[in-house]
Amino acid sequence: MTGSTAVDSFVIVLDNLSKLVDEIPPANQPARYGNTSFTVWHTELVSRSESMIESLLPPDKSSLSAELAMYLNASFGHEIRRDYGSGHEATFLILLFCLLKVGAFEEADLKLIVLRVFVKYLEVARKLQTTYWLEPAGSHGVWGLDDYSFLNFLWGSAQLLDSKDITPPSVVSSDQVLKDWSDEYLYVDAIRAIKRVKKGPFFEHSPMLRDISEVREGWPKINSGLIKMYRAEVWGKLPVVQHTLFGSIFKFDE
């Protein structure tokens, strides 16, 4: 299977997982967060994940489908706690790395992996969060970037490295920028998503993002800072990495 075909196939897999949400409506329950129907959805994911992964792999790598399915299973939230956070997102990143490592994706597909596969994954993750009201896992509240995601800010700032038209302050202050560019740039879309969910002045519910928007050196400085932050706050935190899955492809190196 060529890399471009694998990109198309993975988008179809994620589309099917999105449709599965439509088939499993949220249960009527007194608690707002952690709807029990997410566990039902996750059970269905687990029952299908191995065949989904196998559809992405080169024929000579099909024996890895069970191992890689574990990453897919752990990419959308915890089925018992019914929460989602940057650790689950990081698990999806590991899955993308593994698929690249085994030849399902090609180096030429790197941009498509982000702009098509990750974007579709983000769409499904957000749908799960809002349909089943998943708890934010390990959220820093107003002192974090976002209750759930990180990579859309990191990769989104990389998209904007050379942008002269979209400035960091305009992303958080201009509704017109959000309207015109959210479908094209991950960072702009991330701000739009926050504003749709959180009410009140932006500087009150998202002070860190407001501070980032005022970095004078612009997008290059923001991007390099987010890379350092991702290393420190995600991969450098035991509560996140203690759940990391290691195997024959993504190995633990002492």
With both helix axes pointing from N to C terminus, report the angle between 37-54 and 3-23 in degrees, rounded to the nearest 10: 160
Q: How confident is residue 145, by pLDDT bands cut at 50, 70 and 90?
A: confident
For residue 218, give Cα distances in angstroms to 83, 167, 206. 33, 7, 19
- Between CA 89 and CA 75 the distance in angstroms is 6
pLDDT score at 203 = 87
pLDDT score at 14 = 98
Residue whose C-alpha is closest to residue 191's, from 176, 22, 57 = 176
Q: How confident is residue 4, by pLDDT bands cut at 50, 70 and 90?
A: confident
Q: What is the mean pLDDT of residues 126-147?
A: 83
Task: Please say if the pLDDT value at position 73 is more than 90.
Answer: yes
pLDDT score at 162 = 94
User: Using one digit for the tens of pLDDT, what is the confidence trace for 147-177?
Assistant: 899 999 999 999 999 998 999 999 999 999 9
* β 83-84/135-136 pair status: parallel
Q: Which two tokens stand for residue 61?
A: 């790598």
Task: Please say if the pLDDT value at position 2 is more than 60.
Answer: no
Q: What is the mean pLDDT of residues 227-253?
A: 91
Residue whose C-alpha is closest to residue 143's, from 210, 69, 66, 56 = 210
* Alpha helix stretches (DSSP H) within the chain: 3-23, 37-54, 65-73, 86-101, 110-112, 119-132, 151-159, 168-173, 175-181, 186-197, 202-205, 207-213, 219-230, 238-241
Task: Please say if the pLDDT value at position 141 is more than 70.
Answer: no
Q: Which two tokens stand for residue 249?
A: 């492809």
Q: What is the mean pLDDT of residues 237-253?
A: 89
Q: How confident is residue 143, by pLDDT bands cut at 50, 70 and 90?
A: low
- Between CA 172 and CA 182 the distance in angstroms is 12
User: Using one digit for the tens of pLDDT, what is the confidence trace for 16-63?
Assistant: 999 999 999 999 998 888 999 999 999 999 999 999 999 999 999 999
pLDDT score at 139 = 66
For residue 84, give Cα distances in angstroms to 60, 63, 108. 33, 29, 31
- Between CA 170 and CA 55 the distance in angstroms is 42
Q: Are 222 and 157 in contact (CB under 8 A)?
A: yes
